[in-house]
Structure 1
């Protein structure tokens, strides 16, 4: 059924995930910079206007899972309530692990996304705000655990380090160890990172 025909009755439903998966295959096979939005629309069999309604840009297709990850981190930290610093560090690790737990059918798409992001400076730059948002969420949580009105320098620094380590671990998984569970890779990376922070937690 064509879009023209569909408009005469009930609007056709376009599968957003299918469109993103098709775009990722094109980007992977032909190079992110060599594929246009028109190319993606043709490959998916949708109108250009429909594609832009789903995704404002090519980068948005690649970073499509970042919103869900932030929501998972936010939910995990909000559910924790008021805790002390030692426990807060474990909860931060667990929140990132939860955000890196993907259903089996999403693993390959996630791997493709991460490989594309790591290989393209434009894509990486586009998503920097997403990583920064996660760091802000964690810094605020650690600030509450400190009992301070505002997160301290240590809390902000540690939060930024955790967000960066989470992303670095996922990229490493995508590029070098796709046979492993990405959540366990993130857990390993953050456990190593937070070992040093326990001295701070004990002294605070």
Structure 2
């Protein structure tokens, strides 16, 4: 007797990652605005209600995985403990590199996500407003490194610049250099950015 038969009445388990991957292929091939949730449900062989239980919208399918990236950044920052501001810059760079280190089987899906987000202003806006960015947690970390009780202008500016550079580097990788290692691309971009910021940080 199968598990599905034995547990009659329970919905069959649906692979969330497989559904998202199928949706991304549809969005990439046919255009994000030309594909409906019903189209995705049919392509995945799941019911409309099941699909909406997994993903409340098409945008949520595209932005899947962003939570894991933020968790990776927060984990590196938390593990760093108390550091000085110049040292904190290296920690921040390492945190973004960690968040951009993907398993081989996730590279193509990640590339498709980034290309779709970069090509659709509404999709980009949805993610930044609904999910947010890592800039706030990075700003708090840099402020602690400064010994400040509240986020300073310098900390907020550096955090915003790092978050923007990280996203720009990943989009460049997705669109122009998919043969490269995305973590290496992010490392290179943030090294250039933070080398210029060290003088500012050294000013105390």
Regarding TM over 0.5, the answer is: yes
SS in 2 for 1:133: coil
Which deviations, in whole Å up to 9, do the C-alpha atoms of 1:107-142 show, x marking residues without a partner?
000000000111111111111237843000100000
- Does 2:128 correspond to 1:128? yes
Structure 2 unmatched runs, 5+: none
Which deviations, in whole Å up to 9, do the C-alpha atoms of 1:157-177 show, x marking residues without a partner?
110000000000000000000
Partner Cα distance (1:185, 1:88) in 2: 20
Structure 1 unmatched runs, 5+: none
Displacement of 1:43: 0.4
Paired position in structure 1 for 2:153 = 153
Report the CA distance shift for 1:131/1:61 in structure 2 as closer, same or farther (over 3 A).
closer
Displacement of 1:6: 9.6
Displacement of 1:196: 1.3
Displacement of 1:7: 8.1
Report the CA distance shift for 1:195/1:52 in structure 2 as closer, same or farther (over 3 A).
same
Q: Structure 1: which 4+ aligned runs deviate by more than 6 Å?
A: none
Paired position in structure 2 for 1:95 = 95
Paired position in structure 2 for 1:60 = 60
TM-score calculated relative to the size of structure 1 = 0.95
Paired position in structure 2 for 1:26 = 26
Paired position in structure 2 for 1:72 = 72
- Does 2:189 correspond to 1:189? yes
Q: Considering only aligned residues, what root-mean-square deviation do their CA atoms show, in Å?
A: 1.7
* Further displaced range: 80-89 or 6-15: 6-15
Q: Count residues in correspondence.
A: 201
Paired position in structure 2 for 1:180 = 180
Partner Cα distance (2:26, 2:130) in 1: 24
Report the CA distance shift for 1:78/1:189 in structure 2 as closer, same or farther (over 3 A).
same
Partner Cα distance (1:82, 1:131) in 2: 28
Displacement of 1:10: 3.7
